[in-house]
Amino acid sequence: MSNIKNNWLVPLAFTNIYVIWGITFLAVSFGLTGFPPFILSGLRFLAAGIMIFGYLRAKGEKANSFVNWRKNAITGILVLTGGTGLVGWGEQYVSASEASIAIATGPFWFIAIDKKNWRYYFSNKLILVGLVIGFVGLILFLNGSVSAPENAHAASGSLRITAFIVLALSSISWVLGSLYSKNNPGGHSTFMNIAQQLITAGVASLIIASFRNEWSGFSFAAVPLSAWFGLLFLILFGSVIAYVSYIWLLSVKPAALVSTHTYINPIVTVIAGWIIVNEVINSSQLLGLFVILSGVLLTNATKYLKLSNRSKVKIRRTMRSWNKISKSYKHITG
């Protein structure tokens, strides 16, 4: 029964991080119309964390281990405050699509940093070929997005370059936090660990907002309705449903495989931008999307299309049987 359950949950969880996190880049851009970046991140994480934490405490689950709080705080600050909060800062100066593409280097950082699984990664030709193809598509996609006049951002060239550097750092921070979470899991349930990560990340983000003086001149009353909708989407879908799916996937699948969401997210972001805010998708972007998707399919094929040795033996036996039947038929009808 557990295998059937996992077979159903795994594709659902991948769908969540592929689609929902693609849309969150657009939701962040909406949220930034009324919230400064780290206030937006802080409210998002803290609200989501308190919701999950309160539900678990009401069910009687305890969370009084300082060691677990420390582990989850490290994960939360690296993955959420650094990995996601910095994306919010970057989207002040680049579009949502550009931001999603810029952090799509995640799978490469996973392979470079995850030394423990180098033998697995570098011995699997499909993963390597898939990552290379994805990188080529990433370049094509980025070229089409940056060069398109309709996607030009109002920020100066130097600020945009700084934003892309910060987005690259956010990707590295996300990878470091994800690997730390996989290698140093908390002792509580998965949901309690996630709640603690969200709460500590929210507190850290709000502290950063205070140091950056984001509260000065900020007024909740002045926040437009679109920004509130963006924040609500980020809380319920981005930080609860998708993040829960992500942390769970890290516990059952290789980190590099889970990180392929950074390839799919730009596709979803561009399509969502086209549908919701009428962003134009040019031919170079479409080509990049196709190449990126091809790379992801190759990367995932090693897990979803891999046959066991027993299955391979059965297939070979079946083929031999069909050959014998075919030869017998030709002999009889010859």
pLDDT score of 238: 92
Cβ contacts of residue 248 below 8 Å, gap of 6+?
Answer: 9, 13, 190
pLDDT tens per residue, range 24-35? 999 999 999 999
Q: Are 42 and 215 in contact (CB under 8 A)?
A: no
Among 39-53, 72-86, 188-202, 303-317, the minimum mean pLDDT is found in 303-317
The average confidence (pLDDT) of the chain is 81
pLDDT score of 288: 78
In order, the DSSP letters of 265-300 are HHHHHHHHHHHHH-----HHHHHHHHHHHHHHHHHH
pLDDT of 39 above 80: yes
Tell me the pLDDT band of 110, cut-offs 50, 70 and 90. Answer: confident
Among 192-196, 207-211, 274-278, 325-329, the minimum mean pLDDT is found in 325-329
Q: Take residue 34 and report the two structure tokens written for it.
A: 């009324």
**The CA-based dihedral angle spanning residues 27, 29, 30, 32, taken in that order and rounded to the nearest 10 degrees:** 120
Residues in the chain: 334
For the whole prediction, is pTM greater than 0.85? no
Question: Residue range 190-196: average pLDDT?
Answer: 90
pLDDT of 1 above 50: no
In order, the DSSP letters of 191-235 are HHHHHHHHHHHHHHHHHHHHHTTTTTT--GGG--HHHHHHHHHII
pLDDT score of 109: 75
Question: Residue range 141-164: average pLDDT?
Answer: 65
Q: Take residue 272 and report the two structure tokens written for it.
A: 């969502």
The span from the CA of 135 to the CA of 89, in Å, is: 24
Q: Which residue has the higher pLDDT, 293 or 171?
A: 171
Which residue, chain included where needed, has tokens 């998965």? Answer: 190
Q: How far is CA 231 from the centre of its chain?
A: 18
Q: How far is CA 30 from the centre of its chain?
A: 19
Closest CA to 49 of 197, 249, 243: 197
pLDDT tens per residue, range 229-242? 999 999 999 999 99
pLDDT score of 315: 38
Backbone region of residue 216 per phi and psi (left: phi > 0; alpha: psi in -120 to 50; beta: other values): beta
Question: Residue range 62-76: average pLDDT?
Answer: 91
CA angle 295, 301, 305 (to 5 degrees): 160
pLDDT score of 326: 46
- 126-129 own/partner pairs: CB under 8 Å, 24+ apart: 126/298, 126/299, 126/301, 126/302, 127/256, 127/298, 127/299, 127/302, 129/295, 129/298
Question: Residue range 245-255: average pLDDT?
Answer: 82
